[in-house]
Every structure is written in structure tokens, then in C-alpha cells.
Amino acid sequence: MDRGLLQLLMGLSFGLGLAPRAYACLQCEAPFRHALAKARMRLMAQNFRNERLRARAQALLLGMEGEFFANYATRAYMGRVGLGQLMPVVALAQRKIQEMQETYLTDGPLLDQLVRVRGELMKSLKRALKEHQQKACDPNACHHLGSQVLDCLHCSRIYARCLNPTICFADRQPRLALRYELQGIPVRDRIRKARIIVVCLGLITFGVLAVTAYTYRSNRRLLRGYRHLEQAAVE
């Protein structure tokens, strides 16, 4: 990473109260979480009089302090971002936390503002994630990636590499494997079980339709037999 980029990242980190060693995604930064927690406590104590709105705002901010950004990064994208691509996200987070600390909004308008802030941070992170993923999936551009990227799931720096086209924007992306295999059942086993369930449901449906058709034809034959008997009795 060139010297100018490193200095700029350090400046942004100090401005947000981040340690100069830490260039990870937002949820990985303890100073970011602490600053957000400080803003949350101030807003809960001074700016919310409605209990229901306070509870909703509390849940929203706690999610931002916790796994909200990590879940988005790993479920919507590969969960990796370049160092330079994260700078706008860090700068925006710094500005938005400062605005939260100074706001005079209350209750409904403040909750709406918090929702907008989360949306803006998510869109900024989305641009960074998408930009890196597109480059990593492009065989011509991936060789020009920086030496290291950020892993938003494990909060660590890893070496940048080109991604196999078979996993780019497909169901075999690691993000999907992560999402399901953490629950203890591998994705392939889930697919196999899903196919078995679909086949069983198809057989059950076919059986129901066959029984219905047989019953209908049997009833028609019985009805015709009754009509013949009635006609014979009349004659």
C-alpha cells in the first residue's frame, strides 16, 4: 500500500477515534462501536420520550454496533473490501456519528433520521463491496488489486486474489455456504434433502390425483348403473 494512502487512512482513523492499526470493516472497530454506543446512550436518555420509539431506535443502533454490517457484507457480497475502497465509508461514519451527537431531533423525526443514517452507511459499504467483488471476478482487472483486502467476517486483512468464475455471482459463493453450513448442515446435504422432499411431495400429489380420478370414474359408473336400473324398472 502506498505511503499517501496509508497516511490518509490513519488520519481518518484518528478522526473517528480508531487505532491506527485498524483498517477493518465498521463492525470490527471497537472505537467505532464505542462512539456509536456513546451516541446511543445520549439519544436514549435525552431525545426520546416515547417508549415505543425509544425501543425501536435502541434496537436499530444496537444492530449497527453488532452484526448488521457484517451480515450484510457476507450475505449480499463476498464480504471483502479493498483498503482504499473503505475510506469513504469510514469518513461517512465519522461524519454521521458526529451529527448524531449534536442532533436536537426527537422521537419520530429522530428515528427516521437514524434509519436514513443506517441506509447511507449501508449504501456506502455496498459500493465498496461491489467494486472489489467486480474487480476480483474480472480476470483482466483482478491482477491489479491491492496486495491486501479486508475480510469483513473475520475482521482481518488477507491477501487479495482473483476469484474463480464458477463462484462469482453464483450459488456456490462462500457467503452462501457460510450462511447455511454454520447451522451444522452442509449445503450439499441440504440440496439432497430438498430434492428428496420435492420428489416425495410430487409422489403424494400424484397419488392424490390418481385416487381422485379413480373415485370420480367409479362414481360415474355407479351413477350410470343406477340410471339403467331405474329405466328397467319403469319399463
Highest mean pLDDT (candidates 20-24, 69-73, 147-151): 69-73
Instruction: Please indicate, yes or no, if residue 217 is contained in any of the structural domains.
Output: yes
Helices 187-234 and 174-181, packing angle to 10 deg: 70
Instruction: Please indicate, yes or no, if residue 226 is contained in any of the structural domains.
Output: yes
Whether 67 and 135 map to the same domain: the answer is yes
Whether 66 and 94 map to the same domain: the answer is yes
Burial class (CB in 10 A: 0-12, 13-18, 19+), 18: buried
Whether 154 and 209 map to the same domain: the answer is no
- Please tell me whether residue 14 adopts helix, strand or coil conformation: helix
CB 157 within 8 A of CB 150: yes
Whether 199 and 102 map to the same domain: the answer is no
Domain boundary among 114, 137, 167: 167
Whether 209 and 144 map to the same domain: the answer is no
Whether 91 and 47 map to the same domain: the answer is yes
CB 32 within 8 A of CB 18: yes
Whether 226 and 159 map to the same domain: the answer is no
Instruction: Please indicate, yes or no, if residue 98 is contained in any of the structural domains.
Output: yes
Q: Which domain holds residue 218?
A: 185-235
pLDDT range class, residue 188, cuts 50, 70, 90: low
Instruction: Please indicate, yes or no, if residue 180 is contained in any of the structural domains.
Output: no
Residue 198 and residue 195: Cα distance in Å, rounded?
5
pLDDT of residue 13: 42
Residues in the chain: 235
> What's this model's pTM, rounded to 2 decimal places?
0.60
pLDDT range class, residue 179, cuts 50, 70, 90: very low
State yes or no: pLDDT of 203 exceeds 80.
yes
Instruction: Please indicate, yes or no, if residue 92 is contained in any of the structural domains.
Output: yes
Residue range 176-180: mean pLDDT, rounded: 44
Whether 129 and 94 map to the same domain: the answer is yes
Whether 230 and 134 map to the same domain: the answer is no
The pLDDT mean for the chain works out to 77
Whether 143 and 217 map to the same domain: the answer is no
Domain boundary among 140, 167, 194: 167
Burial class (CB in 10 A: 0-12, 13-18, 19+), 104: exposed
Helices 83-102 and 107-137, packing angle to 10 deg: 180
Whether 26 and 75 map to the same domain: the answer is yes
What secondary structure letter does DSSP report for 149? E
pLDDT of residue 113: 92
Instruction: Please indicate, yes or no, if residue 43 is contained in any of the structural domains.
Output: yes
Instruction: Please indicate, yes or no, if residue 173 is contained in any of the structural domains.
Output: no
Query: How would you label 118-143 residue by residue, b for 16+ Cβ within 10 Å and e otherwise?
Result: beebbebbeebbeebbebbbbeeebe
Number of domains the chain contains: 2
Whether 116 and 160 map to the same domain: the answer is yes
Per-residue pLDDT of 101-137, as tens digits, reads: 888 889 999 999 999 999 999 899 888 888 888 888 8
Instruction: Please indicate, yes or no, if residue 177 is contained in any of the structural domains.
Output: no
